[in-house]
Structure formats: structure tokens, C-alpha cells
Structure 1
Amino acid sequence: MKQVAWITGASSGIGEEICRQLAKKGLKLILSSRNEEKLLELKNSLPNADEHLIVPLDLEHSDDFPEVVKQTLSETKRIDFLYNCGGLSQRAEASETSLEVDRRIMEINYFGTIALTKAVLPYMQEQKSGHIIAISSIAGKFGFYLRSAYSASKHAIQGFFESLLLEEAKNNISVTIAFPGKINTPISMSALGKDGKAHGEMDHNQKTGMPVEECVSILLKAVEKKKKEVLIGNKEINAVTLKRFFPRLFWKIIAKQSAT
């Protein structure tokens, strides 16, 4: 029986590229995002297109996730991998960001992600196997300009999934947390500004970032090795080591970095 992977945020960026690379490896995919039209285009472009399943999901509205998962599993019979890639970024100073925007980013990036994970988890526990992947960010390791809510949500992701990997080891369920740095994806386009409107610009940090194909290749190798975490990017990921061992130097350097 083919392995089954569920990917959220599948209509763009890292999520889309994960779908392309996993489909080439012969996995059966469950494609999820809010944009059903883009999911259909993606599905039709993949090898063995008829095998893959489209399940539209809005991470901001997660109350029906248990039923959605139940219906999906009635078709696929199992789920071997859950790639939590869906989410929103931010481009606004904390003092200017409405609390509504803070809540929305946390609802999508954190609560939506863990809601789907909790809905899938009982089936993996019953299988006594499974692998859950959480796409965090280098902003989940330290705060950064214009990212207060986004960074907070990614810090929360780290705490939840590190706890989960300890708890579910007894059920043969693995967890990998990925911390991408500057990756060439359109994430900045949909990032929320202080008023909740989309940033609408492709930032320099994304334009000049690691190609998404390379990022996903590194991620999938880490998943194959069942690594608990993986940092992905170019020289910017060295900031994590710098913060740990040379914090005073870290703060001097990070303060001079461009926010976009």
C-alpha cells in the first residue's frame, strides 16, 4: 500500500513544493489550503494525479476538523505523514498592530495547526505509526522586526511539537520541526500589515533567499532521517548558534538586519 501524506498550505510556497517532490517519490497526497482552484491545478500537474485527494481547509476555522479528518480517512484508510505548512506571516511593528491581527495570526498559525494535528493523531496512534512535520521559521528561534505576532506563533509551535514528540514516541510517532530562514517563496505577499491587509510585496529577503526546491529537498532528507529539528537556509541560520553561544554579539548583528 502506498504511503499517504497530508500537506496543508499546499497551494503555494514550501507546501506546494513538498507536494511536487513527494508525488515524484510515489506517495499518495492529500492537498489542503483555502484555494481550491489552485489545489486543482496542482493536483492535475502531479504524477498519478488521479490518486491524489483535494481537501479544502481554512486553518482559521478549525471546529469541523475532526469530521473532515474522519471523512478523509474513510477514503485514504491511513495517513503516514502530516506536513503542517499552512500559515500567515506579518509585516508591522507591534505597537501599531491591532490585537485582532495578533489573534488572527495565532489562530491560523498555532491553533489551526494543532487542531488538525490533534484530529489526525488518534488515527496515527491506532496505526502505531506516523510522522508529523511542523513548518516553523527561524523567527521561531528569536524575534525579529515586524514579526511580533508571527514570531510568537512560531515559538508556540516549537513548544507544542517538542512536547508532542516526547509524548508520542511510545506510539512510534515521529515529529520533525523545520525552521526555514530566507526562502524564495511568496510568503511576504500575503503577510498581514497592522490593519490586517495583505503586505502585497515580494520582499528582498524572499527574492534572494534559498530556492524553495533546495529547501524542500533538505527538509525531506531530515524527515527520512527522522530528525527532531532542522534549520534550513543560507548564512542567516547561523544566527541561531550565535544567539546561543554569543548572545551579546547576536543582538548587535541582528539589530542591523533589514526587516524585509
Structure 2
Amino acid sequence: MKTYQDKVIWITGASSGIGEALAYELAQSGAKLILSARRADALEAVKARCARPQAHLVLPMDMTQVACFADKTAEVLARFGHIDMLINNAGVSQRSLVKDTALAVDRQIMELDFFGPVALVKAVLPHMLARQSGQLVAVSSVAGLVATPYRSAYAAAKHAMVGFHDALRAEVHAAGLQVSVLCPGFVRTNVTRAALTGDGTTHDRMDGLHDASMSAPAFAAKAVRALARGQGRIVIAKREKWAVYLGRLSPALLARVMRQARVF
């Protein structure tokens, strides 16, 4: 996808954080957006701040309510006729040790961060295959390549997103589809406040690493450029990107580093 002008792009988790920043960047580049998240009022506010707000559609949805995805996809197609790109960005993070995390919380994170996005891919994929055109984008994380303490279920879900989309990329290449996985490092958003603790309550505070992290608009600008080039795995991070490279060079050394790492 060399240009975003008039491209139809569906973004989940678009009400705040990375999704919101991607919406502004893509709208400025001429895209027509479908903005999805649970809160319609927040989505309307994002739409109003986008370039050409009249070109975009607010489509509230809960990523754990997968039974509605076929109808939501049909609604998008009825409005725009096709979908050029799906960005599966919705998700929740975690701040709890394995020993302190209820299994129900592990399942909750996996449902939102993995099974929901997979279900939406399956709803959109037949349309893209029929057109032999489209780009499927997953927002994973550096934690989807390098697991850290206090994020066991989150890392598991984000690793699963990488694996799923790597397999999908191989399957749909001959059909002309592109599959990209964004792996952000620390980005300044409210994701840490909304992160789940071991009993399912929210972390409700910002992490100490917040001030030194990348801004959401800076991340979005880099991500949009990389996606336009059709890149597969895209790591966008500051110092934490070196953990990815270290893991490839020496998994044993990375393991020692992770035992000492400051992760929030």
C-alpha cells in the first residue's frame, strides 16, 4: 500500500492511546476510517478531531463479543464497499505475578488480546481474499517477542498474535494480501492504568518508565510509514528494542537480563 488516500481502514481500540494516534495519522494521510472501541462517546470525540471527520464511521463494538463480528463487517462493507486494511489494536495489559494471577484473569486477557482479534480477522479475511487485496495488521508488543515479569498472560497473548499472523502471512501471500505485526516498546498511553492485576482489578496508576517512553503520535508516524512499505514484523521502540536483538543472539544472556529488568 503506497498511499493511504481514500483507503478504507478499520481500527479497533481507536478511542485512546495507540489506536487514537493511528487514527489521526491515517486520517491526515487521506484514509477513510472505521473507528471501533466500546465507548461510542470517546470514538465520536476522536472522529471529530480527525481530518475530514465526515469521511469516517464510528462503529462501537466489544472485542470479546465475537458473535457480532459478521454483522459489524457487513455494516462496514455496506458503507464503504470494501476494506483495505484492518488494524487489530484493542487489548489490555497486565501487572501481576503468575502466582498471584487468577486463571480467570489469564483467560480474560487472552480473550481480548488474542481470540477477539483472531475472530475479527476471520470475519474480514474472506472479503479480502475475494478481492485479492488488503492488509491485515496486528498490534502486538516487544513483549510479544521478549517476555518480561508481571506480564505472563499479556506476553502469552502477544506472542500468540505474532505466531498467528506469521502463519497467516505465509498462507495469504499468493492471494496478494499483506500481513504486518507492529511490536511497540514502551509508549506513553493510559494502557498501564487500565492494566489488569491478579484479581482482575485495574492497576490504576502510571508506571515509572512512562516519562521516558515514546509518545503515541511519534509511534503512529513511524508505524504508518512502515505499514505503507508492507513490512512484516515491525519493531518500534527505544532502548527496549535491544532486548529483541539480544534474544536472537543469546537467549541465555537475555534470560539473565530479564531477571534484573525494571519493567514498570
Match of 2:263 in 1: 259
1:242 to 233, 246, 258: 246
Match of 1:3 in 2: 7
Deviation string 1:106-147 (CA, Å, 9 cap, x unpaired) is: 000000001111101111111110011100011111221110
Deviation string 1:144-187 (CA, Å, 9 cap, x unpaired) is: 11100000001110111001111111211101111111111111
The separation in 1 between residues aligned to 2:255 and 2:125, in whole angstroms, is: 39
The separation in 2 between residues aligned to 1:23 and 1:143, in whole angstroms, is: 33
Query: Size of the alignment, in residue pairs?
Result: 260
TM-score using structure 1 length: 0.97
Code of the residue aligned with 2:262 in structure 1: it is S
The separation in 2 between residues aligned to 1:23 and 1:126, in whole angstroms, is: 26
Deviation of 1:92 after TM superposition, in Å, equals: 0.5
The separation in 1 between residues aligned to 2:139 and 2:92, in whole angstroms, is: 12
Confirm or deny that 1:21 pairs with 2:25: yes
Code of the residue aligned with 1:13 in structure 2: it is G
Mapping of residues 215-234 of structure 1, within 5 Å? 215-234=219-238
The separation in 2 between residues aligned to 1:207 and 1:31, in whole angstroms, is: 28
The separation in 1 between residues aligned to 2:263 and 2:97, in whole angstroms, is: 10
Mapping of residues 106-117 of structure 1, within 5 Å? 106-117=110-121
Match of 1:56 in 2: 60
SS of match in other structure, 1:6: strand
The separation in 2 between residues aligned to 1:80 and 1:207, in whole angstroms, is: 35
Confirm or deny that 1:153 pairs with 2:119: no
Percent of aligned pairs with the same residue?
A: 37
Deviation string 1:178-213 (CA, Å, 9 cap, x unpaired) is: 111111111101000111011111112233201111
Match of 2:218 in 1: 214
Q: Which structure 1 residue ranges, 4+ long, deviate > 3 Å from structure 2?
A: none
The separation in 1 between residues aligned to 2:119 and 2:130, in whole angstroms, is: 18
Deviation of 1:246 after TM superposition, in Å, equals: 2.1
Give me the CA root mean square deviation: 1.1
**Structure 1 stretches of 5 or more lacking a match?**
none
Confirm or deny that 1:194 pairs with 2:194: no
SS of match in other structure, 1:255: helix
Deviation of 1:89 after TM superposition, in Å, equals: 0.4
The separation in 2 between residues aligned to 1:5 and 1:207, in whole angstroms, is: 31
The separation in 2 between residues aligned to 1:31 and 1:203, in whole angstroms, is: 28
Deviation of 1:249 after TM superposition, in Å, equals: 2.3
Deviation of 1:243 after TM superposition, in Å, equals: 1.2
**Structure 2 stretches of 5 or more lacking a match?**
none
Match of 1:90 in 2: 94
